[in-house]
């Protein structure tokens, strides 16, 4: 498999959220706006990149029996880095993502890539895999956040689409909109996957 294919597989073909159905909790929980979705997506990408690099570098040093706990410690360290950095430099985003920042540690996407990819492949491939999967995750969250923001507040990234009108369909900002919006985006991605395959 060429590295280019390795990179692009996460965007549509194996999109972590819409095709593999991984990491649904943050995908539904934080996507009240496109900006929140993008922030969460990039935070997860950073954790994924860090943990994939470290895991692939030390994969030969970890005894097979304790590999899962070791992965958990590596992932949790990167999550703590993100948590402290974001609290210091982006307090607003930190407040709106809230509980879901520490919960990156139990995101099955991060653990899944460490176990299925980084613990078997070389460092360069693991880096590219992490970037592709992370950006696919960020794309998925930004799309869902954008959809909910457009329908719920008639704005995108905080920019009003119709001047003077700011209260849209409230249901899309609230919990039900997340589920319903994701259901239809899964249909879209299944269609895109079939189209490009």
Partner 1 sequence: MEYFAIVIGAIFVNNIVLAQFLGICPYMGVSAKVSTSVGMSGAVLFVMTLATIVTFLIYNYVLVPFNVTYLQTISYILVISSLVQMVEIMLKKVSPELYQALGIFLPLITTNCAIMGVALLTVQNEFTLLQGVVFAISHAAGFALAIILFAGIREHMDLMDLPKAMRGAPAALVVAGILALAFMGFAGLV
Q: Total residues contacting partner 1 (rule CB under 8 A)?
A: 38
Figure out which of the listed residues 83, 90, 154, 192 binds partner 1, where binding follows CB under 8 A: 83
- Shortest Å distance, C-beta 124 to partner 1: 28
Q: Which is nearer to partner 1, 19 or 127 (CB)?
A: 19
β pairing state of 155-156 and 159-160: antiparallel
Residues 9-28 interacting with partner 1 (rule: CB under 8 A): 21, 24-25, 28
Strand partners, 159: 156
Figure out which of the listed residues 12, 90, 169, 186 binds partner 1, where binding follows CB under 8 A: 186
Structure tokens of 91? Answer: 């307090």
- Can residue 182 be called a binding residue for partner 1 (CB under 8 A)? yes
**Nearest Cα to 53, choosing from 124, 107, 108, 110?**
124
Residues 123-162 interacting with partner 1 (rule: CB under 8 A): none
**Contact at 8 Å (CB) between 97 and 30?**
yes
**Contact at 8 Å (CB) between 101 and 15?**
no
Which span sits near partner 1 by CB under 8 A: 7-15, 77-85, 114-122, 126-134? 77-85
Helix (H) or strand (E) holding 125: helix 123-153
Neighbouring C-beta atoms of residue 74, cutoff 10 Å: 22
Q: Which is nearer to partner 1, 125 or 145 (CB)?
A: 145
Residue 97 has phi, psi (to 5 degrees) of -80, -30
Strand partners, 135: none
- Shortest Å distance, C-beta 119 to partner 1: 17
- Shortest Å distance, C-beta 163 to partner 1: 30
Helices and strands (H, E) in the chain, number of each type:
8, 2
Render 72-114 in DSSP notation, one character per residue. Answer: HHHHHHHHHHHHHHHHHH-HHHHHHHGGGTGGGGG-HHHHHHI
- Shortest Å distance, C-beta 37 to partner 1: 13
What character string, x for contact with partner 1 (CB under 8 A) and - otherwise, covers 34-73?
----------------------------------xx--xx
For binding to partner 1 (CB under 8 A), which residues are involved? 21, 24-25, 28-29, 68-69, 72-73, 76-77, 79-80, 83-84, 99, 102-103, 105-108, 111, 171, 174-180, 182-184, 186-187, 190-191
């Amino acid at each position: 498999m060429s590295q280019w294919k390795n990179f692009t597989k996460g965007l549509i073909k194996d999109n972590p959220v819409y095709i593999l159905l991984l990491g649904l909790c943050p995908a539904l929980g934080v996507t009240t706006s496109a900006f929140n979705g993008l922030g969460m997506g990039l935070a997860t990408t950073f954790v994924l990149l860090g943990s994939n690099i470290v895991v692939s570098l030390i994969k030969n040093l970890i005894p097979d029996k304790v590999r899962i706990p070791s992965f958990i410690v590596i992932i949790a360290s990167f999550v703590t880095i993100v948590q402290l950095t974001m609290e210091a430099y982006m307090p607003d985003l930190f407040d709106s993502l809230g509980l879901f920042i520490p919960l990156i540690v139990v995101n099955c996407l991060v653990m899944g890539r460490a176990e299925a990819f980084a613990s078997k492949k070389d460092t360069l491939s693991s880096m590219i895999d992490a970037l592709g999967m992370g950006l696919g995750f960020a794309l998925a969250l930004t799309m869902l956040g954008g959809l909910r923001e457009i329908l719920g507040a008639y704005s995108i990234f905080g920019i009003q689409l119709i001047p003077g009108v700011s209260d849209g369909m409230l249901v899309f900002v609230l919990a039900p909109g997340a589920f319903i919006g994701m259901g239809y985006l899964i249909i879209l991605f299944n269609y895109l996957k079939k189209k490009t395959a």
